[in-house]
Amino acid sequence: MKTASCRVHRQQAISEIDPRIYGSFIEHMGRAVYTGIYEPEHGTADDQGFREDVLQAISDLNVPIVRYPGGNFVSGYDWKDGIGPKEQRPTRLDYAWFSIETNQFGINEFADWAKKAGTSGMIAVNLGTGTPQEAGYLLEYCNIAQGTTWSDLRREHGYEQPHNFKTWCLGNEMDGPWQTCAMSAEDYGKKARETAKILKWVDPSIELVACGSSSRDMPTFPEWDRIVLEACYDEVDYISLHRYYEYEGSQTDFLASFYDLNEFITTVKATADYVRAVKRSDKVMMLSLDEWNVWYRQNMDCKRWEWAPSIAEDEYTLLDALVVGGLLTTIVNNADRVKMACLAQLVNALAPIHTAPNGAVLKHTTYYPFQQVSNFARGVAYRSQLTCEQVTTKNLGSVPALTALTTFDDSTGELAHFVLNTHQDDSVDYQLNLESFGRLQLIDHQVLAGDDPFAGNTFEHPDNICPTQKPIDVQPGEQFAFELPAASWTLLRFKSEA
Ligand code: AHR
């Protein structure tokens, strides 16, 4: 058995957590929309065709914001195709996923669906084939009350009240050669700035996200981010980051993904702060990690021009769930700069929720760490000072074997502590010092672990991998000891006795 300890001090707050760091993403991709969240023929569909079994699984996840409608999809999408009477909407070729888009689900359906799912929208505008003017018209359609062509058209379509979407993305991954109408950093920076001006003129209350590099692996990272921010620093509120991980043969490296994500965030912060210094600006640029997850890109084959193809339907393992837990610790531990983050995605396409067309809903392994953190890691994030062994990785050098996050919510008096033990063969004798929070009573102890890191959930065995509830057998106090199983993710919740 290994030993490790963690001390959390009330004087070491990182930041109040912006709940939007527990966001997610619905793109018109594969079966995310059609036969995912929207399937009028399904037995649980409501009067608008939204699957209520899926809505339930999403509301249990407690996702405060959902990015829509893409992703790569948005760069060839005309939002006007998705409004008005459904029988008059055009069927189009979607250049991003080589699919058929019937436009039966558009911005108004999304607004209704988001309300039912208990979430809000982060709307991406098309800066690929789209123009700044069309982006302005979309915002006018969504957020202006009445008295203009586009706002009155929304009212004609049955939406008297504006949708009032507050968060808008200026395109998607515009540095990627795969993107419809990709462009240089200089061209994007200028287009983003000019679009931002129009959008903020239309509705000054909104916040804007500029596209950062689409990955840390892009050859143009972080130069792209510097050039873009130099062009639009004053007009935007966030720079975006996207990052996906996959198991490539080394469990040690894969489990250390949390460390890689921290490096990525650190570099983007430094780049943004460099631009701030160049501009002599008082404004601190915040980060929107609006795509992150484990994603295996093998499952991408489909017939060309198929409707709702089964692409990117990854089946996640215990190992993947542990990695997702580790990534969540990094996100929360950067809550001072990362104000939004979206688990990409939510349903069917690289997602924690899987649906059978006309059938049941399945929660993949990755559903659980996200659900726990989103529900319980609220309030203020605190530094978790870990003392633990290092492990040696192939690609990241020497990395701490444990990662943890701690939050305290004044409104409930609850402290939540999550810890990932990446030692694959060793449990850990774990000493947790919380004395600066006063006497605490343990109220919840859950562990995600198992003998087979590659086991997952299936429709036949849906609960094969999910957290196990442990007995609450420790006395109230200020310092605690737990045994962390090998390769495990642990949730500990305490109630303050103060
Ligand atoms: O989330 C899947 C895809 O990954 C998104 O469409 C794109 O933005 C990214 O490359």
In testing the pocket of ligand 1, which one of 25, 170, 173 has its CB within 8 Å of the most ligand atoms?
173
| Cα–Cα distance, 153 to 494 (Å, whole number) | 52
**Residue nearest atom 6 of ligand 1, based on CA coordinates:** 71
Residues 286 and 407 in one domain: no
Please give the tally of structural domains in the chain.
Answer: 2
Q: Using a 6 Å CB cutoff, which residues line ligand 1? A: 27, 29, 70-72, 172-173, 214, 291, 344-345, 350
**Residue nearest atom 8 of ligand 1, based on CA coordinates:** 71
Residues 369 and 401 in one domain: no
Summarised one tens digit per residue, pLDDT across range 32-65 is 999 999 999 999 999 999 999 999 999 999 999 9
CA angle 127, 130, 135 (to 5 degrees): 80
| Cα–Cα distance, 29 to 101 (Å, whole number) | 10
In testing the pocket of ligand 1, which one of 179, 291, 350 has its CB within 8 Å of the most ligand atoms?
291
Q: Which atom of ligand 1 is nearest to the CA of 345?
A: 1
Residues 418 and 319 in one domain: no
Summarised one tens digit per residue, pLDDT across range 79-133 is 999 999 999 999 999 999 999 999 999 999 999 999 999 999 999 999 999 999 9
Q: Is the pLDDT of residue 498 over 90?
A: no
| Cα–Cα distance, 409 to 416 (Å, whole number) | 8
Find the domain containing 306 and state its range. Answer: 18-376
Q: Which positions are catalytic?
A: 173, 291
**Sequence-ordered list of residues with C-beta below 8 angstroms from that of 106, at least 6 positions apart, any chain:** 79, 81, 82, 83, 89
- CA of 72 from ligand 1 middle (Å) equals 6
**Residue ending a domain, choose from 376, 409, 425:** 376
Residues 216 and 85 in one domain: yes
The answer to whether the CB of 252 falls within 8 A of the CB of 424 is: yes
Summarised one tens digit per residue, pLDDT across range 202-246 is 999 999 999 999 999 999 999 999 999 999 999 999 999 999 999
**Residue ending a domain, choose from 326, 353, 376:** 376
Average pLDDT over residues 12-29: 98
Residues 209 and 230 in one domain: yes
Residues 355 and 462 in one domain: no
Residues 137 and 280 in one domain: yes
Instruction: Identify the CATH number of the domain in which residue 241 sits.
Output: 3.20.20.80
Residues 356 and 386 in one domain: no
Q: Which atom of ligand 1 is nearest to the CA of 71?
A: 6
Summarised one tens digit per residue, pLDDT across range 442-456 is 999 999 999 999 999
Q: Which atom of ligand 1 is nearest to the CA of 215?
A: 10
Evaluate the omega torsion of the peptide bond into residue 369 and state whether it is cis, within 30 degrees of 0. Answer: no
Residues 292 and 406 in one domain: no
pTM: predicted TM-score of the whole model, two decimal places: 0.97
pLDDT for res 180: 97
Residues 322 and 416 in one domain: no
**Residue nearest atom 5 of ligand 1, based on CA coordinates:** 71
Residues 257 and 401 in one domain: no
Q: Is the pLDDT of residue 302 over 80?
A: no
The answer to whether the CB of 329 falls within 8 A of the CB of 424 is: no
**Residue ending a domain, choose from 360, 376, 392:** 376
Residues 462 and 365 in one domain: no
- CA of 345 from ligand 1 middle (Å) equals 9
CA-based end-to-end distance of the chain: 35
